[in-house]
């Protein structure tokens, strides 16, 4: 036998036994987004590498070491998308959408980052994201928070904390950068290798470090919030007042900077202590300068992304089962004519009972083996079509999950029976 084929490390299959949870989670999320007036968009998985570099920033983890990139024969460099916002912004600019009206959109799909795979951190993972283009005021930032807060309530999520911060305007960030560089320069001996590098390239990223030895250095660092300009302070105050109006609790985390370059003003994350180091479930913020930087008209924007694998891990850790059990019927038939009839019956049942699962036996095995299969898939009922039933234009119903007795009846009566029992 030749060597067994295997998937790539950090890129997972979704097995049949796990997919029901994913489907119902995605449906819950999409239905909620739609009720808030967001429309679905889909962008290609592959974009020009330059699109990501310009959007995400050259000095970020993603662009420096996590992108899957290659050169085309033409010499052009392409990449698998590591996140969704860059492609979304590219699409907005290319199709001139923000000029028409405010754009409220959501996307879903696979993202790719060359990271060290571990629980909650994969090389192919899935995000669902929300973006608003064309609104500067903080009501937009708050709407995103409200939607996700509502989502956690719908799915019953616990032990999840909303952390917020503001990064101010670009001018504020530039002034603060100088202060930060001076502070870390004074404490250079406490920085690790990455930190020393980031001090030169992007000192904000030191604040985002997961290195525990640097925690106290980071928490004693000067806070951007103390250097805010009036306009940014007001924006942040307004943002908070919307959250307060709905009693949404949050923690102000002044070290929260996010790992991507494009953010300004509002940034936020929902974190949990239930998943070890992979603690961020959903993250986002405002990126008012990005559209212009990418070649579009100046357009304020704000967005977020949920990491679906981490959300699913959290649902499992908290024993939250989103899937409703659906009544299922196994149609068991024996004999040539009976097989034809069973196809017709299954068709009628699908029409009449659209919310019930109907398994029609495909093995054409013995009655006994068909029953065993029905048992194995945990069907609620067996619907039996033998020679006698066929001759009398009837079928027999046998409950498989309780002690109820077998009954024989015509198809209309059976449909009525299932409608009453679903
Ligand atoms: P982290 O700090 O954990 O590396 P990040 O800041 O790189 O996260 P974002 O780029 O903000 O993450 O992506 C938004 C969300 O996508 C994260 O909060 C997380 O839930 C999820 N996510 C990011 N990278 C991965 C990954 N490699 N595997 C699984 N989920 C991921
Ligand atoms: Mg990361």
- Give, using CA atoms, the residue closest to atom 17 of ligand 1: 307
Fold: same for 16-169+229-317 and 328-421: no
- Name the region of 109 (left: φ>0; alpha: ψ -120 to 50; beta: rest): left
- What are the CA-CA distances from residue 262 to residues 89, 163, 189, 324, 360 (Å)? 12, 19, 29, 41, 54
Q: What is the mean pLDDT of the chain?
A: 93
- For residue 303 and ligand 1, the question of a CB distance below 6 A is answered with no
Q: How does pLDDT run across 45-61, given as a tens digit for each residue?
A: 999 999 999 999 887 88
Residue 122, φ and ψ in degrees, nearest 5? -130, 170
pTM of the model: 0.91
Per-residue pLDDT at 394 exceeds 70: yes
Closest ligand to Cα 122 = 1
280 Cβ below 6 A of ligand 1: yes
Q: Which ligand is nearest to the CA of 65?
A: 2
Positive/negative CA dihedral, 230, 233, 235, 241: negative
Highest mean pLDDT among 47-61, 101-115, 159-173: 101-115
Highest mean pLDDT pick, 108-112, 195-199, 254-258: 108-112
Query: Distance (Å, rounded) from C-alpha 181 to C-alpha 179?
Result: 6
Q: How far is the CA of 307 from the centre of ligand 1 (A)?
A: 6
Residue 261 Cβ < 6 Å to ligand 1? no
- Pairwise CA distance, residues 369 & 153, whole Å: 45
DSSP assignment of 170-238:
HHHHHHHHHHHHHHHHHTGGG--HHHHHHHHH-THHHHT---GGGHHHHHTSPPGGGG--HHHHHHHHH
pLDDT of residue 183: 93
| Strand-strand pairing, 301-307 and 280-286 | antiparallel
Rama region for 249: left / alpha / beta (φ>0; ψ in -120 to 50; rest): beta
Distances (CA, A) of 356 to 272, 330, 351, 359, 399: 37, 11, 10, 10, 15
Atom from ligand 1 closest to the CA of residue 280 = 18
- pLDDT at residue 255, as a whole number: 82
pLDDT bucket at 390, cuts 50 / 70 / 90: very high
122 lines ligand 1 (CB under 6 A): yes
Spatial contact of 281 and 314, defined as CB atoms under 8 Å apart: yes
**pLDDT of 275-328, one tens digit each?**
988 899 999 999 999 999 999 999 999 999 999 999 999 999 999 988 788 899
Tokens of 277: 């180091």
Q: Kindly tell me if the per-residue pLDDT of 260 is higher than 70.
A: no
In CATH terms, is domain 328-421 a member of 3.40.50.2300? no
- Of the candidates 144, 129, 131, 145, the one whose C-alpha atom is nearest the C-alpha of residue 102 is 131
Residue 309 beta carbon below 6 angstroms from any ligand 1 atom:
yes
Tens-place pLDDT, residues 110-151: 999 999 999 999 999 999 999 999 999 999 999 999 999 999
CA-based radius of gyration for the chain: 28
123 CA closest ligand 1 atom index: 27
Q: Which class is domain 16-169+229-317? A: alpha beta
In the annotated binding site, the residues are 83-85, 113, 127, 131, 258, 262-263
Banded model confidence at residue 173, pLDDT cuts 50, 70, 90: confident
Among protein residues, the one with the nearest Cα to ligand 1's atom 9 is 283
CB of 307 shorter than 6 A to ligand 1: yes
pLDDT at 144: 98
Rounded average pLDDT over 223-230: 88
**Higher-pLDDT residue of 155, 215:** 155
d(CA 319, CA 315): 6
Which residues participate in the annotated binding site for L-histidine? 83-85, 113, 127, 131, 258, 262-263
What are the residue boundaries of the structural domains of the chain, listed by start?
16-169+229-317, 328-421
pLDDT score recorded for residue 325: 84
pLDDT of amino acid 259: 64
> pLDDT higher for 94 or 218?
94
Closest ligand 1 atom to Cα of 281 = 20
Q: What percent of the chain has pLDDT over 70?
A: 99
Q: Is 163 in the pocket of ligand 1 (CB under 6 A)?
A: no
Please identify, by atom number, the ligand 1 atom nearest to the C-alpha of residue 310. 20
Residue 202 has pLDDT above 90, yes or no: no
- pLDDT of 254 > 90? The answer is no
For residues 367 and 351, what is the distance between their CA atoms, to the nearest angstrom? 26
Strands 280-286 vs 328-333: parallel, antiparallel or unpaired: unpaired
Q: What is the pLDDT of residue 64?
A: 86
Q: Read off the pLDDT band of 263 (50, 70, 90).
A: confident
Positive or negative torsion for Cα 229, 231, 232, 236: positive
């Amino acid at each position: 036998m030749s060597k067994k084929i295997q998937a790539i490390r950090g890129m997972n299959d979704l097995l049949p036994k796990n997919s029901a949870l994913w489907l119902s989670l995605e449906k819950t999320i999409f239905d909620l987004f739609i009720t808030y007036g967001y429309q679905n968009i889909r962008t290609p998985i592959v974009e020009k590498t330059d699109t990501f570099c310009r959007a995400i920033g050259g000095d970020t983890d993603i662009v420096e070491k996590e992108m899957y990139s290659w050169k085309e024969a033409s010499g052009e460099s392409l990449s698998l998308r590591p996140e969704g916002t860059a492609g979304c912004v590219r699409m907005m600019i290319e199709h001139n959408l923000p000029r028409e009206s405010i754009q409220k959109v959501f996307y879903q799909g696979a993202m790719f980052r060359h990271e060290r795979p571990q629980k909650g951190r994969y090389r192919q993972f899935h995000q669902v994201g929300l973006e608003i283009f064309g609104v500067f005021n903080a009501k937009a930032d708050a709407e995103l928070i409200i939607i996700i807060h509502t989502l956690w309530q719908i799915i019953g999520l616990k032990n999840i904390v909303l952390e917020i911060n503001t990064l101010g305007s670009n001018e504020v960030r530039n002034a603060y950068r100088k202060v930060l560089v001076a502070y870390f320069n004074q404490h250079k001996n406490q920085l690790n290798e990455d930190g020393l590098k980031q001090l030169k390239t992007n000192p904000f990223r030191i604040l985002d470090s997961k290195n525990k030895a640097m925690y106290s250095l980071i928490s004693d660092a000067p806070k951007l919030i103390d250097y805010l300009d009036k306009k940014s302070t007001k924006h942040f105050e307004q943002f908070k007042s919307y959250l307060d109006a709905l009693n949404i609790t949050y923690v102000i985390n002044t070290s929260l900077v996010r790992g991507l370059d494009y953010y300004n003003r509002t940034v936020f994350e929902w974190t949990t202590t239930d998943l070890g180091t992979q603690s961020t479930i959903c993250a986002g913020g405002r990126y008012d300068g990005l559209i212009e930087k990418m070649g579009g008209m100046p357009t304020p924007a704000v967005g977020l992304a949920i990491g679906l694998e981490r959300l699913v891990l959290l649902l499992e850790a908290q024993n939250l089962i989103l899937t409703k059990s659906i009544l299922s019927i196994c149609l068991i038939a024996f004999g040539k004519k009976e097989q034809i009839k069973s196809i017709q019956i299954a068709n009628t049942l699908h029409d009449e009972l659209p919310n019930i699962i109907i398994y029609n036996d495909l093995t054409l095995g013995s009655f006994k083996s068909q029953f065993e299969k029905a048992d194995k898939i945990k069907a609620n009922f067996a619907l039996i079509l033998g020679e006698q039933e066929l001759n009398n234009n009837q079928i027999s119903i046998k409950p498989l999950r309780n002690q109820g007795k077998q009954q024989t009846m015509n198809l209309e009566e059976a449909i009525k029976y299932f409608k009453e029992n679903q």
